[in-house]
Amino acid sequence: MKRTRYALAVLAAALLTTSAASAQSKSFSLGKWVELHNAILKELNRSYVDSLEVGRIEREGVDAMLGALDPYTVYVPEEEQEDFQMMLSNTYGGIGAVIYKPDVNGNVQINEPYAGSPAAKAGLVCGDEIEAINGETTHGLTSQQSSDKMRGKPGTQVVFRVKKLRDGATWKAGETIDVTVTRERIALPSVEYVGMLNESDGYILMTKFTEGVGQAVRDGYHTLKAQGMKRLVLDLRSNGGGVMSEAVNIVSLFVPKGSVVVTSKGKAKGSGQEYKTMTDPVDLEIPIVVLVDSGSASASEIVSGALQDLDRATIIGTRTYGKGLVQSIRPLPYDGQLKVTTAKYYTPSGRCVQAIDYSHRNEDGSVGHIPDSLTHEFKTLHGRTVRDGGGITPDFEVKGHKYSRLTYSIVLNGIVDQYAMKYVREHEALPSVEDFHFDAYDDFVAFAKDKEFDYRSSARALFDEMKKTLAEDGLTETMSGELAALEKSLDMDKETFLRLKKDEIVPFIEEEIAVRYWFQQAGIQVRLRYDDQLKEALTKPAISW
């Protein structure tokens, strides 16, 4: 007995010594690198041949250090706080309009005023041109510089010199007038659309998880229920997440009070926490469809994962992004902030949504293929099998439309935006959004074919890359005949390609035109007309609750 006690005492002492040594080793390592960093910086300041931009190299060093950890741990200096808060709250001080500046030496164009915004209330419309801001010409300013001058503290005023597109009560089209706009706190909605898809299916589109979005979803539910909703579609596609507590608030609308929604586990004391629903639900019976894709991340995965694990919703779409990390904000000297990853979160069944590592991802950053041998099985509330390994795998996989390279090119190069502006200038009024269908594609082709953009097909782009590789290998001459024949078969002029992809391009044109006459909600209504992924999702059976 004495020997046993002695052995246990020796083992305990050894463990304590090892633990103390490990802590001492980490402390020594940290002190060592702090000392080395300071010594290197002092030596550079003393002896480096050129002037030393300390602020720049220190910022790059901090960013590189944090970037070695994960993509979400970042340093936010004081001067970037407003943009950071904009990201968290989806609000800013300004006039509430999207602007477009096609020429740095030209005027700023109002591309899209938000509904009810200070810009809209002041009479600014799509197509108006701003020649000066507070007496300073916009010529020579970039789009970002112009935007910065429009933003400011709510309640302050900004004066625009505006060339008007249309006749008004006291001006004529083409006349230049001064317009004073009082800035407001612009809150971009995280719930962008609430409406009925048909007689029984209600639809809520969420694009972010900002403060108050849970209440907005609750309000949307009641609006749709009053309109006869029998099934709810919650669209989280391309929703990159946000505030975790709002994800809990949304799940709480549809599951019993006290249900576990998500659990966080971290290294620091107190980082592990179980988040349960704290309020009574609004509906425990209504069937729910949650739409997800590779852009659905973080809080979107908490909502879809919890509703899937609790067998409360049918998840439809494609595998989600796979961001199962919790970030916390820590204050730093000189009014800076550190957004640091402090924990991983787990769905009610115990799944970690975080991708296994950051190296196995697709081009868009979402989770790549994870073999089942590297994943684990978990059970939902009613015993269905679900797996971890990164992201939420939908109950039914329904892929979205894959657009051609040409369509991406004309959209990303602003060709559709530019044409929509032209269309607005030429058409003072249109019928209702429900009756609007774009039927002037020949006019669009004539407009677009004179613009500069890459109109190669994916096959042609790959062919051009192959030709470069063959040239580097010295094989161009030996294969000249085959290359010429293949190039001829892949060649297609710009107009032919635009006409070939008409069915893909028209929905984008309709949406952009609708937005400029009836604001963002109208654009979403148009988008829903062509949403084949949504239409297929509505044919899938509901998960039994």
Query: Exactly one of 164, 323, 339, 501 is catalytic; which is it?
Result: 323
Contact 360, 319 (CB under 8 A): no
Greatest distance between any 2 Cα atoms in the chain: 104
Question: The tokens of 230 are what?
Answer: 């029998």
Which of these, 110, 104, 103, 97, lies nearest to 141 by C-alpha position? 104
Close Cβ partners of 517 (under 8 Å, ≥ 6 residues apart): 126, 424, 430, 433
- Which residue type does 210 have? T
Give yes or no: 309 in active site: yes
Can you tell me the distance from the alpha carbon of 246 to that of 53, in angstroms, rounded to the nearest whole number? Answer: 42
CB 116, CB 104: distance < 8 Å? no
Instruction: Give CA angle at 505 (501, 510), nearest 5°.
Output: 150
Identify the DSSP state of 58: H
Partner residues linked to 178 by β-bridges: 161
DSSP 3-state of 158: strand
Instruction: Quote the crossing angle between the two packed helices 480-490 and 458-472, to the nearest 10°.
Output: 160
Burial of 436 (0-12, 13-18, 19+ CB in 10 A): middle
- Count of residues in the chain: 545
Q: Which of 259, 264, 298, 300 is catalytic?
A: 298
544 is catalytic: no
Dist CA 294 CA 118 (whole Å):
35
Under DSSP, is residue 315 helix (H, G, I), strand (E, B) or coil?
A: strand
Strand-strand pairing, 396-397 and 314-317: parallel
Q: What are the angstrom distances between the C-alpha of 532 and each of 15, 200, 288, 398, 433? A: 61, 18, 19, 10, 20
Q: Beta strand 231-235 with 288-292: parallel, antiparallel or unpaired?
A: parallel
323 assigned to active site: yes
Determine contact, residues 410/441, Cβ cutoff 8 Å: no
C-alpha 544: how far from its chain's center? 31
The residue annotated as part of the active site, out of 128, 235, 309, 417, is 309
- Alpha carbon distance 324, 66 (integer Å): 18
Q: Which residues are catalytic?
A: 298, 309, 323
